[in-house]
Amino acid sequence: MAANKTVVSRPSKTKLLTGVELLHDPRLNKGTAFTEAERDRLNIHGLLPPRVFTLAEQQWRIVENLRRKESDLEKYIGLIALQDRNETLFYRTVIDNITEMMPLIYTPTVGEACRRFGHIFRRPRGLYVSIKDRGRIREVLRNWPDEQVAIIVVTDGERILGLGDLGANGMGIPIGKLSLYTACAGIDPAQCLPITLDVGTNNEELLEDPLYMGLAQHRTRGPDYESFIEEFVEAVQEVFPEVLIQFEDFATQNAVHLLEVYRDRACVFNDDIQGTAGVTLAGLFSAGRIADLKLTDQTILFLGAGSAATGIAHLIASAMVGHGMAEDDAMRRCWFVDSKGLVVASRSDLAAHKLPFAHDHAFIPDLLGAVEALGPTALVGVSAQPKTFTEPILRAMAKRNERPIVFALSNPTSKSECTAEEAYQWTDGKAVFASGSPFDPVTYQGQTFVPGQGNNAYIFPGVGLGVIASGARRVTDAMFHAAARTLAEDVDESLLKQGSIYPPLESIREVSANVAVSVARVAFEEGVAPGPVPADLAERVRLMMYQPNYPEYA
């Protein structure tokens, strides 16, 4: 399909729907952009104000109204309402104003939206599959109106961003992620399905909230949980063959376990583990260009040792091996400080996912001591503990490195290990900084730094598009290596000079297309996609990207 031509996702409804029904269908509704001829033909004359507006004029009205709202949560509610009534206008507005809109439809605002989900609920989106649906999950999935689902984002709501157990309120995360799949990588919204698995919640505040919309019971654990997930995955594979499943915001023990169980049985990945790893690895590639460090020269110290942190470390280590380093040496370049102190071999209290990084070293009880003893080139925060990169810690990093790499990746902003301003001030302007949520530019001693945002949106939409474009049956680590390399290659020298280690968000659709091509090529080369690499792969990927333009009603 040509880039300036829109194909209606459900052509049969273009012929069948008229009148109010048409205006109430968000995929087909054009609102005040229906022409006079269309209004007559479709029996909507008089149901709209008489003036005909262009898509650009409608977008102007939306942006103007959003900017008048007093809080980001109100803006979020306004955007979701727009998505519910006019999908094309929603995506056109988000894409054309991506830097302004992404923090509203996803982190950090989506965190507050999830916390208050039952209180701001307007209209259902996605599917809720509860533990009480065991034995009939296939039937529930078949209630979804679109048959051509290509990607599912699913959560059980236990570890929403850095906010913890939000139960069924976590539905805001799959909705937001899939909005980014469409906005950032052009995956048709008709192919996207958000799902929340409701197994209860251990959040007592929610259980006492009369407006909480999930099951008012404590979380199901153990064999019952395992069999529920098994039935869900099998049902998805039957109802939506060849679909890509993205696990999102599961607690560490379940996130690691589910990825291990299903990665070789289904087309799945975990964005918290692999997507975060990909964007962090890309950041290290770019930061290394500023600090004049090869990847194999780096030693990385993590604050936090959950599934995201160890996932990052595994991908970094495997990338180091790809650059010629022995595996044992590569693993020893990654160190962790958890809530008890340095992760070392002598500790007897370590969870299984930490053991590969439990190296022989004297135990150190705190992060500052670990920085001073290990001399890391990079400090990566994935702890969800704010203000933990203190001034003494960052000054210790700066003392040991000409350009210390500081990634405060915890989301939302309130959970960030330090702010951009703190990172630059406490390292005397030497830090190469990135964060999980956005920070404004910082001017320090006459130099303006534009901090990079290590946003998974640079990785997962392109990975998803590449998997769909290639027809891959599995998602492999090599795909995330390729995604990270491609993302880093899209950072030019002018960006590095201002301290930015990621491309500007305004270019994210082009970045996602490049990532998708690289991922698809790996899928063909590894044999997890059928056939050889197509000669016109890049063109194919770009032509399949959804463009939010209004259809013409003949």
Bridge partners (DSSP) of residue 302 are 336, 380
Tens digit of each residue's pLDDT (9 = 90 or more) over 474-484: 999 999 999 99
* Confidence at residue 4, expressed as pLDDT on a 0 to 100 scale: 37
Inside any domain, residue 195 = yes
Inside any domain, residue 173 = yes
Query: Is the domain of 241 the same as that of 257?
Result: yes
Question: What is the number of helices (H) and of strands (E) in the chain?
Answer: 25, 14
Inside any domain, residue 220 = yes
Query: Is the domain of 352 the same as that of 302?
Result: yes
Tens digit of each residue's pLDDT (9 = 90 or more) over 432-444: 999 988 899 999 9
Could you say which of 104, 124, 144 is where a domain stops? 104
Query: Is the domain of 306 the same as that of 409?
Result: yes
Tens digit of each residue's pLDDT (9 = 90 or more) over 107-165: 889 999 999 999 999 999 999 999 999 999 999 999 999 999 999 999 999 999 888 99
Q: CA-CA distance, 105 to 107, in Å (whole number)?
A: 7
* Confidence at residue 1, expressed as pLDDT on a 0 to 100 scale: 33
CATH number of the domain where residue 30 is located: 1.20.1370.30
539 class by beta-carbon count within 10 Å (0-12 exposed, 13-18 middle, 19+ buried): exposed
At residue 413, φ and ψ (nearest 5 deg) are -55, -35
User: What does the pLDDT average to over 465-476?
Assistant: 97
User: What does the pLDDT average to over 342-371?
Assistant: 96
Q: Name residues whose C-beta falls within 8 Å of residue 167's C-beta, 6 or more positions apart in sequence.
A: 157, 158, 198, 200, 201, 203, 206, 212, 214, 215
Distance of CA 330 to the CA centre of its chain: 27
* Confidence at residue 216, expressed as pLDDT on a 0 to 100 scale: 96
CB atoms within 10 A of CB 48: 16
Q: What is the DSSP string of 155-223?
A: E-SSSBTTTB--GGGGGHHHHHHHHHHHHHH---GGGEEEEEEE-----HHHHT-TT--S-SSPPP-HH
534 class by beta-carbon count within 10 Å (0-12 exposed, 13-18 middle, 19+ buried): middle
Q: CA-CA distance, 173 to 523, in Å (whole number)?
A: 27
Inside any domain, residue 475 = no
Q: CA-CA distance, 252 to 238, in Å (whole number)?
A: 28
Query: Is the domain of 116 the same as that of 228?
Result: yes
Query: Is the domain of 98 the same as that of 122?
Result: no
Query: What pLDDT band is residue 413 in, cutting at 50, 70 and 90?
Result: confident
Query: What pLDDT band is residue 178 in, cutting at 50, 70 and 90?
Result: very high
CATH number of the domain where residue 246 is located: 3.40.50.10380
- The number of folded domains in the chain is 3
Inside any domain, residue 376 = yes
CATH number of the domain where residue 418 is located: 3.40.50.720
H runs (alpha helix) in 33-97: 36-41, 55-68, 72-85, 87-96
Query: Is the domain of 43 the same as that of 132?
Result: no
Instruction: Give percent of the chain with pLDDT exceeding 70.
Output: 97
User: What does the pLDDT average to over 525-540?
Assistant: 95
Could you say which of 69, 89, 104 is where a domain stops? 104
Between CA 177 and CA 27, with CA 34 as vertex, the angle to 5 degrees is: 25
Could you say which of 89, 104, 119 is where a domain stops? 104
Query: Is the domain of 58 the same as that of 147?
Result: no
Residue linked to tokens 């964005």:
271
Q: Name residues whose C-beta falls within 8 Å of residue 432's C-beta, 6 or more positions apart in sequence.
A: 287, 290, 291, 403, 404, 405, 406, 499, 501
Query: What pLDDT band is residue 16 in, cutting at 50, 70 and 90?
Result: low
Q: CA-CA distance, 499 to 176, in Å (whole number)?
A: 28
CB atoms within 10 A of CB 197: 23
CB atoms within 10 A of CB 369: 17
Query: Is the domain of 99 the same as that of 190?
Result: no
Inside any domain, residue 272 = no
Query: Is the domain of 255 the same as that of 303?
Result: no
- For 248, the domain range is 107-266
Inside any domain, residue 488 = no
CA distances, 284 to each of 251, 315, 430 (Å): 26, 12, 16
Query: Is the domain of 111 the same as that of 87?
Result: no
Q: CA-CA distance, 75 to 65, in Å (whole number)?
A: 9
Inside any domain, residue 485 = no
Bridge partners (DSSP) of residue 356 are none
Tens digit of each residue's pLDDT (9 = 90 or more) over 56-73: 999 999 999 999 999 999
- Spatial contact of 168 and 6, defined as CB atoms under 8 Å apart: no
Q: What positions carry a catalytic annotation? A: 106, 177
Q: Name residues whose C-beta falls within 8 Å of residue 130's C-beta, 6 or more positions apart in sequence.
A: 197, 198, 199, 214, 215
User: What does the pLDDT average to over 386-396?
Assistant: 97
User: What does the pLDDT average to over 260-264?
Assistant: 96
Query: Is residue 12 scored above 70 in pLDDT?
Result: no
Query: Is the domain of 300 the same as that of 440?
Result: yes
Query: Is the domain of 181 the same as that of 97?
Result: no
Q: CA-CA distance, 10 to 12, in Å (whole number)?
A: 6
Query: What pLDDT band is residue 414 in, cutting at 50, 70 and 90?
Result: confident
CB atoms within 10 A of CB 131: 17
CA distances, 281 to each of 45, 201, 288, 488, 515 (Å): 55, 33, 10, 9, 14
Helical axes 460-470 vs 477-489, angle rounded to 10°:
120
pTM: 0.92
Helical axes 172-185 vs 508-526, angle rounded to 10°:
90
